[in-house]
């Protein structure tokens, strides 16, 4: 999204968008991601592992993680309205009632606290989150959004690298970034963000493309639709 005409890095853009949009899934859905992540050993075995979801928007990912068994998922986004709505939507979907302890999820690690937490927060300042508190940080197109309009020094992306590095466990905490871009960089050898991450794998996934419908039913020529790939950057905390 770098140099995009749409200001994907701006709070105002997302705040306005969320006024009219209830639900939207950026890039690959969990049904595609989960098997890929399992195949590459990227998901914690422990259902109580703490997972951070950066820039949750109004995607189904928190619920998907819950349905995959995870009971300690914190989602953050810098738009307050989407955080409020996601908290309400997800609590309703999993039948969470904070006022009663008769809630069915006896396996909750923090009794009385919903397994899906939502916080209004700028990912470029996560100082409110405790240090080294997450085993896995998940980021689906939020690095893309933040990179949009970044400067030539990659100031924002480097800051994101620093912010995430502080809150994941070290060594070996994971930051999995799903991106449409083949050229995202998380590993820096000098300057801000240096020496924090090793990108140990980039998993390339070919996305489903649908042939564009011809205007005329009788048209016989085929339309060339190029393959489109998305990427999971597997960043390991050094």
Measured from the CB atom, is 123 or 234 closer to ligand SAM?
A: 123
Measured from the CB atom, is 120 or 214 closer to ligand SAM?
A: 120
Q: What distance in Å separates the CA atoms of residue 224 and residue 238, rounded to the nearest whole number?
A: 43
Q: Closest approach of Cβ 52 to ligand SAM, in Å? A: 12
Residue with tokens 């800051």: 159
Task: Give the residue nearest to ligand SAM (CB).
Answer: 55
Measured from the CB atom, is 97 or 161 closer to ligand SAM?
A: 161
Q: Closest approach of Cβ 4 to ligand SAM, in Å? A: 11
Measured from the CB atom, is 25 or 187 closer to ligand SAM?
A: 25
Residue 145 vs residues 7, 19, 78, 181, 235: alpha-carbon distances, Å: 8, 18, 12, 11, 18
Q: Closest approach of Cβ 104 to ligand SAM, in Å? A: 28
Q: Closest approach of Cβ 228 to ligand SAM, in Å? A: 16
Q: Closest approach of Cβ 221 to ligand SAM, in Å? A: 35
Measured from the CB atom, is 141 or 235 closer to ligand SAM?
A: 141
Measured from the CB atom, is 109 or 124 closer to ligand SAM?
A: 124
Residues within the interface to ligand SAM (CB under 6 A): 9, 14, 25-26, 55-57, 59, 61, 77-79, 122-124, 140-142, 145-146
Q: Closest approach of Cβ 141 to ligand SAM, in Å? A: 4
């Amino acid at each position: 999204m770098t140099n995009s005409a749409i200001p994907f890095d701006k709070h105002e853009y997302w705040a306005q968008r969320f006024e009219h949009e209830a639900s939207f899934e950026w890039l690959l859905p969990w049904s595609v991601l989960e098997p890929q992540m399992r195949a590459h050993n990227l998901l914690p075995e422990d259902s109580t592992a703490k997972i951070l979801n950066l820039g949750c928007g109004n995607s189904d990912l928190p619920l998907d993680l819950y349905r995959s068994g995870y009971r300690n998922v914190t989602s953050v986004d810098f738009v307050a309205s989407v955080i409020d709505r996601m908290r309400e939507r997800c609590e309703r979907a999993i039948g969470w009632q904070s006022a009663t302890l008769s809630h069915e999820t006896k396996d909750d690690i923090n009794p009385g606290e919903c397994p899906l937490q939502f916080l209004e927060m700028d990912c470029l300042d996560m100082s409110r989150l405790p240090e080294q508190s997450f085993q896995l940080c998940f980021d689906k197109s939020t690095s893309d959004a933040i990179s949009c309009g970044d400067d030539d020094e990659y100031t924002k992306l480097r800051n994101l690298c620093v912010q995430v590095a502080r809150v994941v466990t070290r060594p070996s905490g994971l930051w999995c970034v799903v991106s449409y871009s083949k050229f995202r960089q998380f590993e820096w050898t000098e300057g801000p963000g240096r020496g924090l991450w090793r990108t140990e794998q980039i998993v390339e996934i070919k996305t489903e493309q649908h042939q564009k419908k011809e205007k005329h039913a009788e048209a016989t020529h085929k339309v060339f639709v190029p393959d489109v790939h998305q990427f999971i950057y597997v960043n390991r905390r050094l």
